[in-house]
């Protein structure tokens, strides 16, 4: 059984380990756990993780956030993966730091990466894992906050959140979206 795991973020050193790149950070940590390596491929950095007989095709789009749908659609088509087996990992301002929310479908909630995926897929019917980044920014400073780095006191909590996000991906793959949602969304 094949899955496409899409971690959203922006390429380039300026964006490394920013709040907006939490999708990249989750996939980087997961790849390290499973001793997988990302390599540059068409529209994305790609790694294959094998988990109990399942194939997790992990991509970090190199299209920048606003064109994430282009990479997600290319890889879903190339690998012939159905939308219900696609999981998109994105940051979410509406959730407290490290809080996770798994949904089987939904709106973009103002997230440009999800908005583009919705447009390219012409659908909101695909699973997504939202990772809370909080919203402690002054009025008019949202872009700076989202593209900013984590503060020193936040880092231990983010590391724990990334571990929980990896567990969420594993649950999604091994137990299905509904059962994973019941476990993840309670916390």
The token pair that represents 170 in the structure block: 């594993």
Residue 148 has pLDDT above 90, yes or no: yes
Domain that holds residue 38: 2-184
pTM: 0.97
| Whether residue 20 lies in the annotated active site | yes
pLDDT digits (tens, 9 = 90+) for 134-143: 988 888 888 9
Which is catalytic among the residues 17, 20, 57, 111? 20
What is the 3-class SS of the chain, one letter each residue? Answer: CEEEEEECCCCCHHHCCEHHHHHHHHHHHHHHHCCCCCEEECCEEEEEEEECCEEEEEEEECCCHHHHHHHHHHHHHHHCCCHHHEEEEEEECCCCCCCEEEECCCCCCCCHHHHHHHHHHCCCCCCEEEEECCCCCCCCCHHHHHCCECCHHHHHHHHHHHHHHHHHHHHHHHHCHHHHHHHHCCC
- Tally of structural domains, the chain: 1
pLDDT for the residue numbered 31: 98
Q: What digits encode the pLDDT tens for the residues 50-75?
A: 999 999 999 999 999 999 999 999 99
**pLDDT tens figures, 119-129:** 999 999 999 99
> What is the structure's pLDDT at 187?
59
What pLDDT shows up at residue 136? 87
Query: Angle at Cα 98 formed by Cα 49 and Cα 162, nearest 5°?
Result: 25
CATH of the domain at 80: 3.40.50.1470
């Amino acid at each position: 059984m094949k899955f496409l795991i899409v971690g959203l973020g922006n390429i380039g050193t300026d964006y490394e380990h920013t709040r907006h790149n939490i999708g990249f950070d989750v996939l980087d940590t997961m790849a390290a756990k499973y001793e997988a390596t990302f390599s540059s491929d068409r529209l994305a950095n790609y790694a294959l993780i094998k988990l109990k007989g399942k194939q997790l095709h992990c991509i970090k789009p190199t299209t920048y956030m606003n064109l994430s749908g282009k990479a997600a659609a290319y890889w879903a088509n190339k690998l012939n993966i159905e939308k219900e087996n696609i999981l998109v990992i994105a940051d979410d301002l509406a959730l407290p730091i490290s809080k996770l929310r798994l949904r089987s479908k939904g709106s973009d909630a103002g997230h440009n990466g999800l908005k583009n995926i919705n447009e390219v897929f012409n659908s909101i019917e695909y699973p997504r894992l939202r990772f809370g980044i909080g919203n402690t920014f002054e009025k008019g400073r949202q872009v700076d906050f989202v593209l900013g780095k984590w503060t020193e006191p936040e880092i231990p909590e983010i590391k724990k959140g990334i571990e929980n996000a990896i567990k969420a991906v594993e649950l999604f793959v091994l137990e299905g979206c509904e059962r994973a949602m019941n476990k993840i969304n309670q916390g």
